[in-house]
Amino acid sequence: MPDDMKSIDVKSAVSAEEWQARVDCAMLYRLTALHGWDDMIFTHISHRVPGPEHHFLINPYGMLFDEITASSLVKVDLEGNIVMDTPYFINPAGFTIHSAIHANREDANVVMHLHTDQGVAVSSQKEGLLPISQTAMIVRADVAYHDYEGVALDLDERERLVADLGPKKHSMLLRNHGTLTCGETAAMTFTRMFFLERACSMQVMALSAGRDGVLECDDDLQGKVAGQGGMTGHSSGMGSLTEKLVWPAMKRKLDRQSPGYDT
C-alpha cells in the first residue's frame, strides 16, 4: 500500500459491497500492467460503487497501475467531485469519458480505456477492426466507433460518445486514440478487453506484410463465430465462463505475480 494511505482504514469505512468493487477494480489495474497495456500514469479504469448515490471509483492520478490498491482508488460523483477523504486527485480526461458511460448505461458498472500501440494503430485505420481472425470475429459485432475530438476534456463530448456506443454495445475503438470496453462486472469487462486487444495485435501483425494478401471471412462466417463467442451479453456462455473460470484464474495470477492489490 502507498505510504500516504497507510493511516487511512478505507476497508472499515465502506460497505462490504464497495470493498469488493474496490478489490475488483484494483485487480483490473494490476492486470492491465501485467499484460503491458498500461501507459505510464495515463488511461483509466472505473467501477461503479453499489448503491443509489451514482458514485464510482477511479485511479489516483500519478500512481502507476502496478501500485494501485483497493484502498487507494478515489471515489467521485458524476460531476467529478471527490466524495471520500483521500490524499489524491483524479485526471479530468478520465472523468469525462467514464462519467459519460456510467451516467447513461445502467449495465456499464465497469469501464476500461487503454492506449496500447496495437489498439491505437487499429483505431487509426479507416476500415477499423477487420474479420481476419477468430478473435476479431468474436468481438467485432460488439465494437462501436467514436471519432477523435482531441484530449477528452470537453464535457460536451460525453453526449456524442454515448450516442456512438449506443444502448447495447460493450466495446469501442476511439479513433486515433485507443480501445474501450464496459460491462456489468470487472470480469466481463476485462475479458472483452483481452479479446479486443488481441484482435488488434493480430491485425497489426497480419497487415505488416501488406493488405492484399490478407484473407477476410465472409458475413455468414462472421455471424456464426460471433454467436459462438457470445461476447455481447453478460448472461451469455462467455459471460458464465468468464465469471467461473477466467476471473478466478486471473486472481490466482495476481496473487503470485502482483500481490497487495486487495489492501
Q: What is the pLDDT of residues 185-243, one digit of tens each?
A: 999 999 999 999 999 999 999 999 888 889 989 999 988 998 887 665 544 556 678 99
What is d(CA 182, CA 114) in angstroms, rounded to the nearest whole number?
Answer: 12
146 contacts 165 by C-beta, under 8 angstroms: yes
What is d(CA 77, CA 89) in angstroms, rounded to the nearest whole number?
Answer: 13
- Model confidence at 178, pLDDT cuts 50, 70, 90, reads very high
Q: What is the pLDDT of residue 234?
A: 46
What is d(CA 110, CA 54) in angstroms, rounded to the nearest whole number?
Answer: 13
- End-to-end Cα spacing for the chain: 7
Q: Exposure of 126 by Cβ count < 10 A (0-12 exposed, 13-18 middle, 19+ buried)? A: exposed
> What are the two backbone dihedrals, phi and then psi, of residue 57, each rounded to the nearest 5 degrees?
-100, 140
Tell me the average pLDDT of the chain. Answer: 91
- Model confidence at 97, pLDDT cuts 50, 70, 90, reads confident
CA 162 to chain centre: 15
Q: What is the pLDDT of residue 154?
A: 75
Determine which of 61-65, 76-80, 94-98, 210-214 has the lowest per-residue pLDDT on average. Answer: 94-98
Closest CA to 112 of 55, 18, 179, 63: 179
Determine which of 39-53, 54-68, 84-98 has the lowest per-residue pLDDT on average. Answer: 84-98
* Tens digit of each residue's pLDDT (9 = 90 or more) over 10-26: 999 999 999 999 999 99
Give me the half-sphere count of Cα atoms (radius 13 Å) on the Cβ side of residue 188.
22
Three-class secondary structure assignment of the chain: CCHHHCCCCHHHHCCHHHHHHHHHHHHHHHHHHHCCCCECCECEEEEECCCCCCCEEECCCCCCHHHCCCCCCEEECCCCCECCCCCCCCCHHHHHHHHHHHHHCCCCCEEEEECCHHHHHHHCCCCCCCCCCHHHHHHHHHEEEECCCCCCCCCCHHHHHHHHHCCCCCEEEECCCEEEEEECCHHHHHHHHHHHHHHHHHHHHHHCCCCCCCCCCCHHHHHHHHHHHCCCCCCCHHHHHHHHHHHHHHHHHHHHHCCCCCC
Closest CA to 250 of 193, 204, 200: 193
Sheet bearing 110-114, strands edge to edge? 74-76, 56-58, 44-48, 110-114, 178-183, 171-174, 143-146
Q: Which residue has the cell 493511516?
A: 7
